[in-house]
Amino acid sequence: MRLCKLIFCLCLSGFQALFASEILEIQVGAQTHKLLQKDLLKDPNLQTVTVHADPAYAGKSMTYAAIPTAGLLKSYGIQETDALQVTSRDGFVSLFAAKEVLHPQDTVQAFLAIESPEHPWPTLASPATATAGAFYLIWQHPSSVLIGKEKWPYQVARIEVKAPLASRFPAIFPDAKLPDSDPVQKGFQLFVQNCFVCHCLNQEGESHVGPDLNFPMSVTAYWEPNALRKFIRNPQSVRSWSQGKMRGFDEKEMSDDQLDQILAYLKHMAK
């Protein structure tokens, strides 16, 4: 009898594994829509999209089955003025203005790439235990300023409509009197795009992959300035350990001027 039950359970879990379909959650207001990988793979808008320098796969050229996000997200009532939060399985949190995903500039278009269980994508360089799937947000002809490499979220689990940044996280904003052209303001924008996906600041933020950069003490107060620059460019060149999760930002991705602007913002926030 027990053996029967065991065999039955084993078969059942085998079947479940066979038919397991990853779920993407889309939350708008009080409603959560659960989209199944197997259904998305049958979506009539599915098309083949080639990415020339894929950030998840070390800049290689990759080809995906993908759905334009504009039509998909609009069908769930997401509007251009919304603020979106995209959460990945590993805790990575990216923030977007919905227009970056919905109303792309003429040459830019966002897609949701969907992995097929029959043809899995290659495993990531690090951690090498999983692929970028089952869901990965990609852009065609991305303008590096608008959608930086750090903003291409993979292993996407959830897309949510959230209130605008200024009302959710007022403590990360620099002095409002500073003009947009001020290095501190530019550094703030760069911080939100590149660093806020993993770090909190003044105890505000959704991601806790890395430490708070200003609380209880600013990193600019306890890091030697040259070591700090070196660390942001290549963390493992300053202190090396196998569990390090921070990626470096080389000159191609972030100019010296942009790095200066981020440091100007962090110093400003230290006050």
Q: Which residues bind ligand HEC (CB under 6 A)?
A: 150, 194-195, 197-199, 209-211, 213, 219, 228, 231-232, 235, 244-247, 249, 262
CB of 249 to ligand HEC, least distance (A): 5
Q: Look at residues 115, 25, 27 and name the one whose alpha carbon lies nearest to residue 66.
A: 115
**Number of other CB atoms surrounding residue 244 within 10 Å:** 12
Contacts for 154 with CB less than 8 Å, ≥ 6 apart: 56, 88, 124, 132, 133, 135, 136, 137
Report the largest interatomic distance among the alpha carbons of the chain, rounded to a whole angstrom. Answer: 76
Residue 164 near residue 83 (C-beta atoms within 8 A): yes
* Closest CB to ligand HEC among residues 51, 262: 262
- In the complex, the smallest distance separating the C-beta of residue 16 from ligand HEC, rounded to whole angstroms, is 32
Residue 228 Cβ vs ligand HEC, minimum distance, rounded to whole Å: 6
Which residue is associated with the tokens 């084993």? Answer: 10
Length of the chain: 271
Instruction: Give the shortest CB-196-to-ligand HEC separation in angstroms.
Output: 8
Closer to ligand HEC at the Cβ: 132 or 219? 219
CB of 223 to ligand HEC, least distance (A): 6
For residues 162 and 233, which CB has a smaller minimum distance to ligand HEC in the complex?
Answer: 233
Picking from 136, 50, 59, 51, the residue whose alpha carbon sits closest to that of residue 90 is 136
Judged by CB, which is closer to ligand HEC: 65, or 192? Answer: 192
**Residue 99, token pair as written in the block:** 């227009």
CB count in 10 Å sphere of residue 193: 19
Nearest CA among 71, 210, 101, 90 for reference residue 161: 101
Nearer to ligand HEC, 37 or 169 (CB): 169
Instruction: Quote the least distance from Cβ 261 to ligand HEC, whole Å.
Output: 10
CA distance 203 to 172: 9
- Among left, alpha and beta (phi > 0; psi -120 to 50; other), residue 136 is beta
How many CA atoms within 13 Å lie on the side-chain side of 161? 19
Shortest reach from residue 245's CB to ligand HEC, in Å: 4
Measured distance CA(164)–CA(28) in Å, rounded: 14
Looking at beta carbons only, is 65 or 201 nearer to ligand HEC? 201
Residue of minimal CB distance from ligand HEC? Answer: 210
Least distance to ligand HEC from the beta carbon of 90, Å? Answer: 9
Nearer to ligand HEC, 52 or 245 (CB): 245
Return the number of the residue (121 or 152) whose C-beta is nearest ligand HEC: 152
